[in-house]
Amino acid sequence: MSKKDQWNERYQHADALPQAARVLSENLHLLPAKGYALDLACGRGGNAMRLAQQGLQVDAWDISDVAIDALAQMAASESLEIAAQVRDVEKNPPEQQRYDVIVVSYFLERSLFPVLIDSLKKGGLIFYQTFTQSRVSERGPRTPAYRLADQELLQIFADFKLLVYREEGVTGDPTQGFRDEVMYVGKKDD
**Distance between CA atoms of 137 and 179, rounded to whole angstroms?**
8
Report residue 38: phi and psi, to 5°.
-125, 125
pLDDT of residue 3: 82
pLDDT of residue 141: 82
Q: Which domain holds residue 173?
A: 3-187
Please give the average pLDDT of every successive group of 10 residues along the chain, which has 190 residues: 80 81 98 98 97 98 96 96 95 95 96 97 98 84 89 97 93 85 94
As a dihedral over the C-alpha atoms of residue 124, residue 46, residue 139, residue 30, rounded to 10 degrees, the angle is 30
Reference 47, options 39, 35, 55; nearest CA is: 39
**Long-range CB contacts (within 8 A, 24+) of 71-74:** 71/18, 71/42, 71/44, 71/45, 74/17, 74/18, 74/44, 74/45, 74/49
Q: What is the CATH number of the domain that holds 30?
A: 3.40.50.150
pLDDT of residue 109: 94
- Helices 65-77 and 3-12 pack at an angle, to 10 degrees, of 40
pLDDT of residue 8: 74
- Could you tell me the strand order of the sheet in which 57-62 lies? 82-86, 57-62, 36-40, 99-105, 120-131, 181-187, 161-166
pLDDT of residue 183: 97
pLDDT of residue 14: 72
pLDDT of residue 153: 96
pLDDT of residue 127: 98
- State how many domains the chain has: 1
Secondary structure E strands in the chain: 36-40, 57-62, 82-86, 99-105, 120-131, 161-166, 181-187
This prediction has a pTM of: 0.92
SS3 127: strand
